[in-house]
Structure 1
Amino acid sequence: MTNVLLVSIDSLRRDFLGAYADEPHCVDYGVETPNLDRFAERAATFDTHYAGSLPCMPARREWHAGVQEFLWRSWGPIEPYDDHLARVARDDGVLTQLITDHFHYFQHGAHGYYEDYTGFEFIRGHEYDAWQTAPKTPDDRLLDQTVDRETDPPDGVGYVNRSVYARNAERRGVEDDERNAFAPRVFSRTAEWLRDNVEWDRWLCYVDSFDVHEPFHCPEPYASLYTDEDPRDPELDVWPYYGPVDEGQSELSERQLEFVRSQFAGKVTMADEWFGRVLDALDDEGLWDDTAVIVTSDHGFLLGEHGWVGKNEPPVYDVLARTPLLVWHPDGAHNGERIASLTSAVDLYATVLDLLGIDGDAADRVHSRSLQPLLSGDADAGDLHAHRDRALYGYWGSAVNVTDGEYTYLHPCDPTVESRCHSTTMMNARGFPLPTTPKRDAEAGEFVPHADGPVWRFAADSYAQLDAPMLFDVREDPTQETNLVDERADERERLREELVAGLENLDAPEHQYDRLDLDPPA
Structure 2
Amino acid sequence: MNIIQIVSDTFRWDFLRCYGNSWIHTEHLDRFAEDSVVFDKAYIASFPTIPYRRDIFTGRYTFTYSRWVFDGSEPNLPRTEIILSQLLRQAGYTTMLIADTYHLIRDCHGFDRGFDGWWWIRGQENDRYMTNPPKDPEERQKVISRQYLQNVSLRRFEEDYFVAQTMTAAEKWLELNYDQHEKFFLYVDTFDPHEPWDPPRWYADMYDPEWKGGEVPGGAYFPGVPRPAASDLTEEQLNRLKVLYAGEVTLVDRWIGRLLEKISDLGLLEDTAIIFTSDHGTYIGEHNYVGKRDQLYEEVAHIPLIVRLPDSEGAPRGRRDEIVQSPDIMPTILELAGVNVPPTVQGRSLLSVIRGESEEEREIAVSSASLVGPRLPNWITVTSKRWALLASQVGSEVKSELYDLSKDPGETVNLIDEQPEVADDLRSRMIGFLRSLGAKEETLRRWMKEAD
1:35-90: CA deviations, max 9, x gaps? 00010000000011111101100000001111211122221411222012111111
Q: CA offset at residue 333 of structure 1?
A: 6.6
SS in 2 for 1:302: coil
1:211-222 → structure 2 map (5 Å cutoff) = 211-222=192-203
* Counterpart contact for 1:3–1:355, Cα < 8 Å: no
SS in 1 for 2:368: strand
For 1:492, give the aligned amino acid.
A
In the alignment, which residue of structure 1 is the partner of 2:349? 370
In the alignment, which residue of structure 1 is the partner of 2:373? none
Quote the RMSD (CA, aligned, Å): 2.1
Q: CA offset at residue 245 of structure 1?
A: 1.4
In the alignment, which residue of structure 2 is the partner of 1:15? 14
For 2:229, give the aligned amino acid.
P
Matched, 1:189 2:169: yes
Determine the C-alpha separation between the residues in 2 that align with 1:198 and 1:347: 27
* Counterpart contact for 1:188–1:278, Cα < 8 Å: yes
* Counterpart contact for 2:390–2:402, Cα < 8 Å: yes
Would the alpha carbon gap of residues 6 and 365 (structure 1) be closer, same or farther in structure 2, given more than 3 Å must change?
farther
* Counterpart contact for 1:300–1:311, Cα < 8 Å: yes
* Counterpart contact for 2:218–2:227, Cα < 8 Å: no
* Counterpart contact for 1:513–1:519, Cα < 8 Å: no
In the alignment, which residue of structure 1 is the partner of 2:73? none
Would the alpha carbon gap of residues 7 and 519 (structure 1) be closer, same or farther in structure 2, given more than 3 Å must change?
farther
In the alignment, which residue of structure 2 is the partner of 1:209? 190
SS in 2 for 1:467: coil
Segment of structure 1 superposing worse, 55-64 or 71-80: 71-80
Match of 1:52 among 32, 45, 60: 45
Would the alpha carbon gap of residues 340 and 169 (structure 1) be closer, same or farther in structure 2, given more than 3 Å must change?
same
Which structure has more RCO (C-alpha within 8 Å, separation ≥ 6)? 2
1:448-492: CA deviations, max 9, x gaps? xxxxxxxxxxxxxxxx8x811111111221111111111112211
Determine the C-alpha separation between the residues in 2 that align with 1:292 and 1:334: 9
Determine the C-alpha separation between the residues in 2 that align with 1:471 and 1:232: 38
In the alignment, which residue of structure 1 is the partner of 2:366? 392
In the alignment, which residue of structure 2 is the partner of 1:126? 124
Would the alpha carbon gap of residues 106 and 60 (structure 1) be closer, same or farther in structure 2, given more than 3 Å must change?
same
Matched, 1:88 2:87: yes
Match of 1:261 among 215, 220, 242: 242
Determine the C-alpha separation between the residues in 2 that align with 1:237 and 1:206: 31
* Counterpart contact for 2:297–2:381, Cα < 8 Å: no
In the alignment, which residue of structure 2 is the partner of 1:64? 57
Determine the C-alpha separation between the residues in 1 that align with 2:421 and 2:59: 33
- The alignment of Structure 1 onto Structure 2 pairs a total of residues equal to 434
Would the alpha carbon gap of residues 493 and 413 (structure 1) be closer, same or farther in structure 2, given more than 3 Å must change?
closer
* Counterpart contact for 1:101–1:186, Cα < 8 Å: yes
Consecutive unaligned residues of structure 1, counting only runs of 5 or more, are 149-158, 381-385, 418-463
1:476-515 → structure 2 map (5 Å cutoff) = 476-515=407-446
SS in 2 for 1:75: coil
Determine the C-alpha separation between the residues in 2 that align with 1:275 and 1:516: 41
* Counterpart contact for 1:146–1:215, Cα < 8 Å: no
For 1:374, give the aligned amino acid.
V
1:416-431 → structure 2 map (5 Å cutoff) = none
Determine the C-alpha separation between the residues in 2 that align with 1:357 and 1:127: 38
Determine the C-alpha separation between the residues in 2 that align with 1:40 and 1:235: 34
Q: CA offset at residue 237 of structure 1?
A: 6.0
Determine the C-alpha separation between the residues in 2 that align with 1:236 and 1:259: 10
TM-score computed with the length of structure 2 as normaliser: 0.91
Determine the C-alpha separation between the residues in 1 that align with 2:233 and 2:177: 47
Q: CA offset at residue 335 of structure 1?
A: 2.7
Matched, 1:288 2:269: yes
Would the alpha carbon gap of residues 132 and 344 (structure 1) be closer, same or farther in structure 2, given more than 3 Å must change?
same
Match of 1:168 among 151, 176, 188: 151
* Counterpart contact for 2:217–2:228, Cα < 8 Å: no
* Counterpart contact for 2:64–2:438, Cα < 8 Å: no
Q: CA offset at residue 400 of structure 1?
A: 1.5
Determine the C-alpha separation between the residues in 1 that align with 2:141 and 2:369: 26
In the alignment, which residue of structure 1 is the partner of 2:34? 41
Determine the C-alpha separation between the residues in 2 that align with 1:99 and 1:79: 20
Consecutive unaligned residues of structure 2, counting only runs of 5 or more, are 70-75, 371-375
Segment of structure 1 superposing worse, 508-517 or 7-16: 508-517
Q: CA offset at residue 209 of structure 1?
A: 0.7
For 1:261, give the aligned amino acid.
K
Determine the C-alpha separation between the residues in 1 that align with 2:314 and 2:212: 45
* Counterpart contact for 1:333–1:376, Cα < 8 Å: no
SS in 2 for 1:53: coil
Determine the C-alpha separation between the residues in 2 that align with 1:272 and 1:231: 26
* Counterpart contact for 2:207–2:243, Cα < 8 Å: yes
1:441-480 → structure 2 map (5 Å cutoff) = 467-480=398-411
Determine the C-alpha separation between the residues in 1 that align with 2:368 and 2:65: 12
* Counterpart contact for 2:6–2:188, Cα < 8 Å: yes
In the alignment, which residue of structure 1 is the partner of 2:278? 297
SS in 2 for 1:271: helix
